[in-house]
Structures are given as structure tokens and as C-alpha cells.
Amino acid sequence: MKKLLLGLFFISLSFSLYAAETASEILKKTISIISPEMFEAQIKMTYLRSDGTTAKYAVILKNKRYTRSLVTFEEPEREKGRQVLRIEENLWTYLPKTKKILSVSFDSDFMGGDFSNQDIVRLNLLEDYTPEIKKETTNQYILDLISIGKGFAYAKIRFWVRKKDYMPLQAYYFSRSGNPLKKLVYKELKNFKGFIRPAIYEMTNLAENTKTYLEFTSFKKVTQLSDAVFYKENLGK
Amino acid sequence: MMRKIFLLLFLIFPCFLAGQKTIPDLLDEVPDNVGEMKNTDAPSTNFEKIKTGEIYQEKQLSFQGLILGTWNYKDQFNSNEDSDSKNFTTEINLIFQLKPSPLFQCFTDFGGKSYTQGDQNNSPLQKDHLVTNEIYFSSQLGHFNFNLGKKRLVIGSGTLLTPLDIFNPQKALPGQQIQKEGRYLAGMNFTQLYNSKTFSQLFADLVFYPEITQDENGLLQEMKFENNDFLLRLGGVFSAHEVTLFFFHRWEENWFGVSYSRYLTSNVELHLESLLFFHRKPVLKNIYTSLNKKLYQNTLLGIKYFLLSKMILTLDYYYQSDGLDSEEWDQATASPFIKQLTLFYLANQGTLYQRIPNLTLRRHYILGNVSYNNLWDYLNLNLSVILNPEDSATLLLPKIDYLPSANTSIGLGALLLPGKSGNHYESFGFDYMLIFDLNISF
């Protein structure tokens, strides 16, 4: 009897390990599509205000190994040259008019839209969250990503992935109290010179019922990106 | 009675439940909006069509321009007829950046400024001039960056004031023109990034400022190497702690600085900036000629709190040990004549030293700032307060910026000095100043 129980224990353990590995593998494949290790992207951000009007921003995002990011504003004209730099767990903004570099919070919203600084430059789903398969349907995996600590903006992310090619489809972001905060819908598959990924992100703020669109007008997966791009000394240059 | 309470609860409870947000189950398949690759694409949203596969290329030559118009009106509350004055400044900035490779970059910032001042008694005074704010070359060689030319270098991170400001260009307080003009320097920076959360970067700067004579347009006329200034900066980021140490040699004296910041939680930052020196700052040294040689320290300690993801609250305590105590201030203003001399001296110091010297003459200051950006997406709100508890000198700076279009902002604000009679902010010579500014970027 003891041996039977021991056997069952090891079988269930190996099954759960296999399941965790599978969730992790699925997530890795999806992340390699939406955020490869190094890339440069040109993004247009459109914020739909509650009164029906829109605010538009254009930025260039450079990302290296999920720990270094640089955002440079191209539009609107009054924000041109503004930069946001992330190195590991630190975030700074460079203000070109005063030439000042100020530290900022990851939780602040990104230029008044529904994306936070964290969503743009920090969200590292591979290292900061533990994935598990919540449900598997005919065409989709539904994953739950649970944050590994308390210092993250979202305690849980529910993530829908297309089975056949691991394309991300949708994500729900939850607070620590379990309330859904935001909903992200991935849209419009595009071929960026051989790299195929969704070109539009639609983020809905569920509390305020506002929407922000990120439209990738350019995406370049690169194999080398100099560290000098992310030096504080080079902000404004 | 109990029945009534139960009946009431019975009626209220369903209403309460109806008011609660229902959390969706979210375990069903979702619509596939990603779709398949198409050769001809009709975007599902109202955006311009995305050019398939376009790759971003870094610009080698970039240009940016700014037109700034500022109008100020100063007066006193119990004014006589001729106490008011008006200033109107228009400024055009043209910024060019040539970046053929990281090995060679050239940055120039030219400006033209027209300044008109008028009051009841005198005919308007007008000054026009062209100025070269910045013109420098920069080169990146591995971990080293070299800068040569006229450049604005801003150190310290305090929002309103920091002890390190005495080495910076003018603060951008409402109603004050931003001093964009840099200094001629030769600088070298070393930066090393590490793939570690506990020690993520190390940086060091060595900056040499030769003594320069400039022409009226801010261009180099003559260079001497007798009274040179130096800046040595060494810093790093250790986990969430950012520490920078400074050594300055300026005004023929040595100054030691330290700057520290870290996030206590994801939205609360603690910061400290301190400056140590063995003599009073030039602006204070001559008001009260105390010859006591001791170590002075000016320190700013405060927190920055990010609230509701849009609002930033800053609260700082600024201690200035070389500031004037009550006895010294009384001596500096002992009679109307001495007071006039002191104020005249302070006004003159503005051109060569700290641009607004009368902001921090005393020892203790409480600084507060609240800013709320993108309110209804059209407005930026800002309120700054500087308070000296020793003589109740108070400075309030409320300002609203309206953003009507992508390249324009219109600002309306005031600089108010509501402190008690006799406080040291009376040295400003006005009780209130109304500010209107217009920024157009192109």
C-alpha cells in the first residue's frame, strides 16, 4: 500500500512538473514573438479619450534582454526628445527642455494613456511571473501567470495563446484583490521583414472604460544592441 | 424593530450586490483578432494603414525648434501708482543634431531673444540678442564618452531646489526664463552596465571648465587656464539605491556633494542631496562677513510620491547651514540704507552666481510640489510652495498649462508672496506676479 501511494505521489509530481514545463514552454514561445531578446520598434500610441477625441504619441522603443529599455518620443512635437530609460529595477525620464534626468515610478501611467511605464518598459512575463495552464480548449491555451513577488503592478495575468503558432490573443490583468484592471487584445498579424507578430495592441482600462492602441509601425529583431544606447550619459544625444 | 432592520437589510443587500462589479469567469476561448497574414490589409481600426515590414532607421540629422513667449506683470497689493512693471520676452530656439555615427556627434542650440520691460514712469526698455546656448562634439568609444564644447550640464535631481543647484543653470521657475546657456567644457564619462539586479551600473565623470571670455553671442573669444573649474563625479546603482559622489572646484574653493535616492515602495521615492564646504557661498559670504572657518553643510531630504498613476507629490526639507540666522539677517537689514545695499548686492549676484539668490537666504525651508499631468488630457496642473518657518517667508507658484494641440501649450500662473511683513522674500520687490506663456514646438 505504501509503495502504491509512493508511486502515485511520484506520478502526480512528475505530471505536475511536466504541466509546469509545458506552460513555461508555451509562454517562452509566445514571448519570443511579442518581445524577443533584443529589438527596436517604432510605435504609435493612440489614446481614445472618454469624450471621443484622441491623443497621439509616437515613440521608438529599444529593448535588450528584458532588463534595459529606452523609449524616445518623436511625437507630439512638444514632447519630442523626451526619453524614458530603464536599467534593471530603475527607471528615469529625461526632460530635454531642462536637460534634467528624474527617477520615476514604474506604476505611473505612460503619457496619460492606459499603459503604465511598467507595461511598456518592464513587464517581464518570463522572469517575474510563474505560468500555469488554466485551461486548454480546441484552439487556445489559457494560462494564468502569477507574480513571484509583491512589487509588481499585476498580481495575476490571464493569458490566451493560439495553439497552432503560439500567437498571443488576449490578456487580462488582475490586482492583488483579484479585480480585473485592464484587458489587452492583440490584433493584426503583420510581417516585419520576415518577423511575424501582432501589429496592434488594444488596451482597455476596465475601471475608466477608456482605450489605448499601440500600433507597431516598425519592428526589428536585432542580434546586437550596444550597451552605450542605455547609458544615462547618452540621454538627449 | 428587529424586523424592520432585517427588512431594510433585505432590501439593501440586493442593491449592494447589483452595484458590485461582476468578475468575469474568463475561461472561454476568445475571438481571434490576430488573424492570418494577408497581402493586402484593411486595418480593423481607424488607423492609417501600416506599411508592412518597414524598418526604423536612425536619423543622421535632426532638427527641432521652439518659440517661447512669456508675459509677466508684477505689482504690490497696497500699491502706489508706479509700483507695477511688465516684461515681455520672445525667444526662438533652433536645435540641430548631426549624428553620422556614435563616434562623432555634433549638437548645436542657437537662440534669439527679444526682451521688453516697461513700467509707469519709464519708456519701455528693449533688448535683442542672439545667443549660442550649446555647441559641442560628442564621441562614444567603448565605455568612454567624450564631450568638447559649450554644453549644459545639470546635476542633482531635486524638483524645486537642491543644494547642488549652485553649479546648475537657472531653475525653470514660473515667470523666470530658463537659462539655456551652457558652459565651455571638456568632459569624459565612463559607464559600465552589469547584468545584475544588485549592482546594475557604475559611472564616473571628469569635467574640466577653462576660464572663457565669450563674445556677445556666446561664442568663444578667449580661453585662459588660470582659474579653471573641475567636476569629478562617481556613482553607481546598487539594487534600488542610486548613489553619486561629487567633488567640485569652483570659485577657487572645494565643494563635496552626495546624492542618494531609492524607492521605498513602488511609488514612494526617498531622496537626499547634500553639499559640504568650508566657507560660505559667495552670495552669502559678503552679506555677513563672518570669518569663522568651519564645515558647512546644505542638505535636502524628502520624498516623492506617485499617486493614482498621474499625480506626483514632493515634500522636502532643505537645511542650509551657511544661511543667515536671525541675528545676521537683522544686521543685514539693520537700517533702510543697509537693507538697500543688501538687496542691491543680491540683485547683482544673480548675474554671476545663483540666478535667484534671494530664494534661499535663511537656514530652514520646507518645499512642496504637487503636479497632475494630463487632467482630462488637456491640462497640466502644478502647485509649488517654498516656506521658511523662521520669518514666514512664503512663495506660492500655482500654474495651469493648457495643451490645445500636439505642438502648443499655453500656461497661466502666478507667483505669490503672502508671508508676513518683514520677511526676506520682500527682497523680490513685488507681492505678486502674473504669468502667461505660450510654447510652440516645430
The whole-angstrom separation of Cα A103 and Cα A113 is: 20
Decide if B306 contacts B316 (C-beta within 8 A).
no
Q: Which three cell numbers stand for residue B376?
A: 482630462
Structure-block grid coordinates of residue A161: 495563446
At B384 the pLDDT is: 92
Asked if B206 and B188 touch (Cβ cutoff 8 Å), the reply is yes
Q: Which chain B residues have a beta carbon less than 8 Å from that of A135?
A: 27
Chain A, 130 to 189: residues with Cβ < 8 Å from chain B are 134-135, 137-140, 142, 151, 153, 158, 160, 162, 167-170, 172, 178-180, 185-189
Among the listed residues A214, A186, A220, A200, the one whose alpha carbon sits nearest the alpha carbon of residue A44:
A214
Contacts of B97 in chain A (CB under 8 A): 237
Residue pairs spanning A and B at CB distance below 8 A:
219
Q: Which of A70, A98, A229 has the highest number of chain B CBs within 10 A, making it the mutation to test binding with B?
A: A98
* Residue in A60, A151, A198 nearest the CB of B56: A60
Is the Cβ of A44 closer than 8 Å to some Cβ of chain B? yes
pLDDT of B121 over the 70 cut: no
- Residues in chain A with CB shorter than 8 Å from the CB of B98 are none
Identify how many contiguous H helices and E strands chain B contains and give both numbers: 4, 18
Name the 3-class secondary structure at B332.
helix
Decide if pLDDT at B73 tops 60.
Answer: yes
Of the partner residues B33, B178, B304, the one whose CB lies closest to the CB of residue A185: B33
Q: What is the pTM assigned to this prediction?
A: 0.83
Torsion of CA B182, B190, B236, B107, to 10 degrees: 30
Q: How many CB atoms lie within 10 A of CB B405?
A: 10
Q: Tell me A216's DSSP state.
A: E
Least confident of A48-57, B162-171, B175-184: B175-184
Gap between the Cα atoms of A81 and A76, Å rounded: 10
Q: List the beta strands (DSSP E) in B330-424.
A: 364-375, 379-388, 393-405, 408-416
pLDDT in tens, B396-411: 999 999 988 888 999 9
- Report which DSSP code applies to A93: E
Identify whether the C-beta of residue B284 lies closer than 8 Å to the C-beta of residue B322: yes
Sign of CA dihedral B286, B288, B290, B296: negative
At B142, is the secondary structure helix, strand, or coil? coil
Query: Which residue in B21, B25, B33, B49 has the most chain A C-beta atoms within 10 A of its own C-beta, making it the best mutation to test that interface?
Result: B33
- Given B56, B140, B237, which is nearest A87 (Cβ)? B237
Contacts of A237 in chain B (CB under 8 A): 97, 99, 105, 107, 138
Smallest Cβ–Cβ distance between A189 and the set B37, B51, B99 belongs to B37
Tell me which long-range contacts A49-53 makes (C-beta under 8 A, separation of at least 24): A49/A210, A49/B376, A49/B377, A50/A208, A50/A209, A50/A210, A51/B376, A53/B377
Backbone region of residue B376 per phi and psi (left: phi > 0; alpha: psi in -120 to 50; beta: other values): left
Average pLDDT, chain A: 84
User: Grid coordinates representing B233?
Assistant: 563625479
For A81-125, the pLDDT digits (tens) are 899 999 988 889 998 887 888 888 877 777 767 787 878 877 678
Res B93 pLDDT > 70: yes
In the 8-state DSSP scheme, what is residue A126?
A: H
The pLDDT of residue B5 is above 70 = no
The answer to whether ipTM exceeds 0.85 is no
